[in-house]
């Protein structure tokens, strides 16, 4: 099963420990996470159900290609890493 992990920055705002979930795509894996933690969805997705502009997702070390549909495929041994870009100066 793919593992979904979130940056410590996101974990400071909402409880989202790493977890192993089912799913063959990023969308399916995240939907499983959101089913158990509905509040997390609004931190990651906008009101159009697309990835928020300041959120980046990696599968292992590669950034996903499909930011709208989240259709990138994942394998059983993959890690989906969700991070929030920080800005400021």
In this predicted model, what pLDDT tens digit does every residue of 47-64 receive, in sequence order?
999 999 999 999 999 999
> What is the pLDDT, as a whole number, of residue 88?
60
Q: What is the pLDDT of residues 71-82, one digit of tens each?
A: 999 999 999 999
17-28: string of b/e by CB count within 10 Å (b at 16+)? eebebebebbbb
Query: Does 53 reside within a domain?
Result: yes
Q: Is residue 55 part of a domain?
A: yes
Q: Where are the beta strands (DSSP E) in the chain?
A: 3-6, 19-20, 55-59, 62-63, 79-84
Q: How many domains does the chain have?
A: 1
Q: How far is CA 68 from CA 25, 46, 56, 57, in A?
A: 13, 10, 12, 12
Give the distance from CA 83 to its chain's centroid: 8
Write out the residue range of the structural domain in which residue 31 sits.
3-84
CATH number for the domain spanning 44: value is 3.10.20.30
Q: Is residue 89 part of a domain?
A: no
């Amino acid at each position: 099963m793919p593992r979904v992990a979130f940056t410590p920055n996101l974990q400071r705002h909402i409880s989202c420990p790493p977890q192993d979930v089912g799913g063959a795509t990023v969308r399916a894996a995240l939907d499983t996470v959101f089913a158990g933690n509905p509040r997390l969805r609004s931190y990651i997705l906008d009101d159009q159900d697309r990835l928020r502009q300041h959120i980046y997702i990696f599968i292992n070390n590669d950034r996903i290609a499909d930011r709208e549909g989240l259709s990138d495929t994942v394998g059983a041994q993959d890690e989906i890493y969700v991070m929030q870009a920080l800005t400021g100066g």
